[in-house]
């Protein structure tokens, strides 16, 4: 793979079209990062995606690329609606695992004396861990309303405010959802999990704005130095996982039915407009809406916990949504290809939208600066806020990366963390951390991830997004 790779510029490398690839594959990364990327099979997976029927442009991989199911994590691909396909491996198991950034009127000095009890309060308020369940117990009828209405269901039921929805991708709901295509097993798995964090790399993080790179853009987002922020990272929980699991079985049969040749069974797929494709998109959108509602519920728990722990009211906290991005999602979007507007099915797996300025789907408050792009790092270093660019629209269907990307497997991380007091190590760096188990903390140790600064520099260097602000963690709860 490495011997065939061509350097396009300092942050872009291309795997030329060979064999049954329909288009080349492109990897956004620095040369230094590429060495780690080529250690696993992620680049090969990006090349395999290029086999799929109806793919348009290139098979893309973002700088946080690493091995995943079917598509690499960090993979982006767009498909023609008439000749192209939809693949659950191009979305992933944790459908609409996304990131919400909240800002407050607090500064570091306001929370520093109460940081430990504040983190403890958040840990109690937001159920976390494997199989975690929340205080909301839904009937099947009500759960299906959640799957149709997304974040709006939570607001209608008193969990947050209407203005929260204005700064969420899709305003927190995909209208194409149809819960009748979601299995009973998936519904059962999700029924008690609304408002829960889950496990693995999911987190709620108290951050501090440490650096501003673009003052006008930061001001438009209501961000300033020393400000307290909250980042929420979670998805559709067991419901989304089961939707993917159910669909893979269907798509394995569909690939044979429609005569689609696959280099890897995990790329199983169906034509976008086939019955199988339409039903998956409706079920996937239902899981997307569950995730939107889930993050809205967690926002409500976080607001309440912070006010209690700090002894302040709603106005003093003034917690508002900066933006929420979705990753692990496929959408029908219109993009310009060879000078012509075309509707495409864009898969973003471990990647997010990065629409440039003036796009009609960007909230009015951000239309001049571009869509906010949120790229969290590990729990020991820093995260970034960026904005999408016109170049991203031209090159990657308006896409950028979603995080740092793992360097170590969870097994490797557990071995590396053996005998270490990770919570103490983080506390020595001024970061208070809580997790549902020592194992979770060990799997998520900072060095298990790439340095997100390198990832962000690659994205910015390639012109896919523009750096706006840098956040440092002060407190974190992990699933």
Rounded distance between C-alpha atoms, residue 46 and residue 48, angstroms: 5
Give catalytic status of residue 402 as yes or no.
yes
Rounded distance between C-alpha atoms, residue 378 and residue 441, angstroms: 11
Q: CB 133: neighbour CB atoms within 10 A?
A: 16
**DSSP string for residues in 280-318:** HHHHHHHHHHHHHHHHHHHHHHHHHHHHHHHT--HHHH-
Rounded distance between C-alpha atoms, residue 262 and residue 251, angstroms: 12
**DSSP string for residues in 190-229:** HTT-TT--BSTT-EEEEEEEEEES-HHHHHHTT--TTEEE
Work out the widest C-alpha separation in the chain, in whole angstroms: 64
Distances (CA, A) of 476 to 28, 43, 101, 126, 473: 30, 32, 14, 12, 7
Six-digit token string for 60: 């893309």
3-state secondary structure of 414: helix
Q: Which of 200, 182, 395 is nearest to 287 (CA)?
A: 182
DSSP state of 150: T
Q: Which of 292, 314, 291 is nearest to 303 (CA)?
A: 314
**List 241, 300, 327, 402, catalytic entry:** 402
Rounded distance between C-alpha atoms, residue 187 and residue 185, angstroms: 5
Catalytic amino acids? 402
């Amino acid at each position: 793979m490495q011997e065939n790779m061509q350097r396009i510029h300092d942050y872009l490398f291309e795997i030329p079209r060979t064999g049954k690839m329909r288009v080349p594959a492109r990897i956004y990364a620095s040369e230094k990062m590429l060495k780690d990327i080529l250690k696993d099979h992620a680049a090969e997976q990006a090349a395999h995606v290029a086999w799929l029927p109806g793919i348009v442009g290139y098979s893309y991989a973002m700088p946080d690329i690493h091995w995943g199911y079917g598509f690499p994590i960090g993979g982006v691909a767009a498909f023609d609606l008439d000749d192209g396909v939809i693949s659950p491996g191009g979305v992933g198991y944790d459908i609409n695992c996304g990131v919400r950034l909240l800002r407050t009127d607090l500064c570091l000095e306001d929370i520093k004396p109460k940081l430990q009890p504040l983190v403890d309060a958040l840990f109690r308020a937001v159920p976390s861990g494997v199989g975690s369940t929340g205080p909301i117990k839904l009937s099947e009828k009500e759960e299906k309303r959640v799957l149709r209405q997304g974040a709006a269901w939570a607001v209608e039921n008193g969990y947050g405010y209407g203005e929260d929805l204005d700064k969420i991708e899709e305003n927190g709901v995909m209208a194409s959802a149809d819960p009748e295509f979601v299995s009973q097993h998936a519904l059962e798995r999700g029924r008690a999990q609304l408002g829960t964090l889950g496990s693995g790399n999911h987190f709620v993080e108290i951050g501090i704005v440490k650096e501003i790179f673009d003052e006008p853009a930061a001001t438009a987002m209501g961000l300033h130095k020393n400000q307290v922020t909250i980042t929420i990272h979670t998805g559709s929980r067991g419901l989304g996982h089961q939707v993917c699991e159910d669909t893979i079985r269907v798509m394995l049969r569909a690939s044979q039915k429609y005569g689609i040749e696959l280099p890897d069974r995990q790329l199983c797929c169906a034509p976008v407009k086939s019955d199988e494709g339409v039903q998956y998109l409706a079920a996937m959108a239902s899981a997307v809406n569950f995730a939107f509602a889930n993050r809205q519920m967690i926002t409500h728990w976080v607001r309440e916990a912070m006010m209690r722990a700090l002894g302040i009211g709603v106005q003093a906290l003034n917690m508002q949504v900066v933006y929420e991005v979705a990753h692990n999602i496929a959408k029908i979007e219109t993009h310009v290809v060879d000078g012509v507007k075309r509707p495409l099915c864009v898969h973003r797996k471990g990647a997010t939208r990065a629409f440039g300025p003036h796009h009609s789907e960007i909230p009015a408050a951000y239309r001049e600066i571009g869509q906010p792009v949120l790229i969290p790092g590990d729990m020991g270093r820093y995260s970034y806020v960026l904005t999408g660019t016109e170049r991203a629209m031209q090159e990657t269907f308006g896409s950028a990366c979603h995080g740092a990307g793992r360097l170590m497997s969870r097994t490797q991380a557990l071995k590396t963390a053996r005998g270490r007091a990770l919570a103490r190590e983080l506390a020595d760096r001024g970061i208070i951390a809580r997790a549902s188990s020592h194992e979770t903390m060990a799997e998520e140790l900072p060095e298990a991830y790439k340095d997100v600064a390198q990832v962000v520099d690659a994205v910015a260097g390639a012109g896919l997004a523009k750096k706006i602000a840098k956040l440092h963690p002060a407190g974190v709860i992990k699933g």
